[in-house]
């Protein structure tokens, strides 16, 4: 199967009057359709830079990035909902801007709002939603554009701990259910293990790939999927946590 995304020996440095900041070194990995890949690494190692390269805001200095024409959708820390638009009108904003707001797409968005518990809030304003519901609305707005690759940049980190667990569970389950391919960048190791089918561990800056760890749970061996919350309670969870923690802590 063609990967949705492939990075080949990607390197990047920032250049300023103060000198050069080498940020990424020799980064290679690919993502297959339907995979959920999480990237973890210490703060400041180059995770956001990597996402900027993948979405084309920056150009790699070395290597290449192949996205095979895939449409990319984003989910960011802030939900960026427009307070003066109703929830429904927020979720169709992208479609409206792309002149793709037709009956079929409206129906699809209405169905997602109903499936994910927001139908009763469709005509309310974002201020009446909880933090978790706002993130769900933001995700529906992104999914409305039918992206082939979702880039998630620390999407839960602005939320308090309990909400973060709930929303991570919620959003992770929706992405799986919709069969989307996703790349999540996070500094939260537990989040990476509870959501990812693979975890890519980056070193301190300049970020190199220290390890790519496939995540599998015995309870998923029959093809069934544990929810992110169930994964956190599964016996394998703590051993994955320790393995990744050890890699992240070790310098070099």
> Which residues, 6 or more positions from 59, have their beta carbon under 8 angstroms from its beta carbon?
53
Distinct helix (H) and strand (E) counts, the chain? 9, 9
**CA dist 89 → 94, 106, 116, 129, 188 (Å):** 10, 10, 16, 14, 32
Vertex 167: Cα angle to 166 and 168 (nearest 5):
95
Least Cβ distance, residue 42 to ligand ADP (angstroms) = 7
Torsions phi, psi of 179, nearest 5?
Answer: 65, 30
Residue of 1, 16, 83, 84 that binds ligand ADP (CB under 6 A): 16
Residue of 25, 49, 90, 190 that binds ligand ADP (CB under 6 A): 49
User: Mask 165-204, x = binds ligand ADP (CB under 6 A)?
Assistant: ----------------------------------------
Least Cβ distance, residue 63 to ligand ADP (angstroms) = 17
* DSSP annotation string for 194-209: HH-SEEEEE-SSSB-E
Q: Does 14 bind ligand ADP (CB under 6 A)?
A: yes
Q: Does 13 bind ligand ADP (CB under 6 A)?
A: no
Q: Does 48 bind ligand ADP (CB under 6 A)?
A: yes
Quote the CA–CA distance of 22 and 245 in Å, as a whole number: 24
Least Cβ distance, residue 65 to ligand ADP (angstroms) = 15
Choices 36-44, 103-111, 121-129, 175-183 (CB under 6 A): range interacting with ligand ADP: 36-44
Least Cβ distance, residue 175 to ligand ADP (angstroms) = 21
| Residue numbers at the binding site for ligand ADP (CB under 6 A) | 14, 16, 21, 23, 41, 43-49, 205
């Amino acid at each position: 199967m063609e990967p949705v995304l492939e990075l080949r020996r990607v390197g990047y440095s920032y250049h300023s009057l103060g000198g050069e900041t080498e940020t990424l070194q020799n980064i290679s990995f690919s993502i297959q359709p339907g995979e959920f890949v999480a990237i973890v690494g210490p703060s400041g190692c180059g995770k956001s830079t990597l996402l900027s390269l993948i979405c084309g805001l920056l150009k790699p200095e070395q290597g290449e990035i192949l996205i095979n024409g895939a449409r990319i959708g984003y989910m960011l820390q802030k939900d960026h909902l427009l307070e003066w638009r109703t929830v429904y009108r927020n979720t169709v904003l992208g479609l409206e801007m792309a002149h793709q707001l037709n009956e079929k797409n409206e129906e699809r968005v209405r169905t997602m709002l109903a499936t994910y518990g927001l139908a009763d809030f469709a005509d309310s304003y974002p201020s009446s939603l909880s933090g978790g519901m706002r993130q769900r609305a933001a995700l529906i707005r992104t999914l409305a554009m039918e992206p082939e690759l979702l880039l998630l940049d620390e999407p839960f980190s602005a939320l308090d701990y309990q909400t973060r667990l709930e929303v991570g569970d919620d959003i992770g389950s929706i992405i799986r259910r919709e069969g989307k391919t996703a790349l999540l960048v996070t500094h939260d190791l537990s989040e990476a293990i509870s959501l990812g089918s693979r975890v890519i561990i980056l070193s301190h800056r300049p970020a190199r790939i220290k390890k790519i760890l496939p995540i599998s749970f015995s309870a998923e061996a029959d093809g069934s999927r544990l929810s992110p919350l169930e994964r956190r309670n599964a016996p394998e969870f703590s051993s994955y946590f320790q393995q990744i923690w050890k890699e992240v802590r070790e310098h070099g």
